[in-house]
């Protein structure tokens, strides 16, 4: 089998986020990395695993705005990010390191 014979399927992490625990672990791992773009992208994956339309209503921004904010290239304010986390049923905690 040659490399050109291989076919890769698109991978969407949102398809594998089936419960709150998986979502929490996924987000916590992204937070440990310290890469803000990754954290936003992971929040986008979690949002897609839930209901983006409902989430956008709860946060108070358009569906398109939510996708843009959580694209990994977005730059949402801390307030918006915090609202998204709360609307996803999660909370932030700070611990001394």
Helix or strand or coil: residue 7?
coil
Tell me what pLDDT residue 8 has. 80
- Between the alpha carbon of residue 90 and those of residues 3, 10, 53, the distances in Å are 42, 28, 18
Residues of the chain with confidence (pLDDT) below 50: none
Tell me what pLDDT residue 50 has. 92
Tell me the C-alpha distance between 15 and 11, whole Å.
Answer: 8
Tell me what pLDDT residue 78 has. 94
Tell me what pLDDT residue 1 has. 62
Name the residue with tokens 């399927």.
Answer: 9
């Amino acid at each position: 089998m040659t490399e050109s014979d291989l076919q890769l399927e698109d991978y969407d992490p949102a398809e594998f986020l089936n419960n709150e625990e998986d979502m929490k672990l996924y987000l916590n791992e992204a937070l440990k990395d310290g890469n803000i773009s990754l954290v936003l992208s992971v929040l986008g994956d979690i949002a897609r695993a839930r209901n983006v339309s409902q989430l956008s209503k709860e946060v108070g921004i358009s569906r398109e705005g939510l996708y843009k904010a959580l694209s990994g290239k977005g730059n949402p304010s801390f307030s918006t990010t915090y609202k998204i986390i709360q609307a996803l049923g999660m909370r932030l905690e700070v611990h001394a390191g």
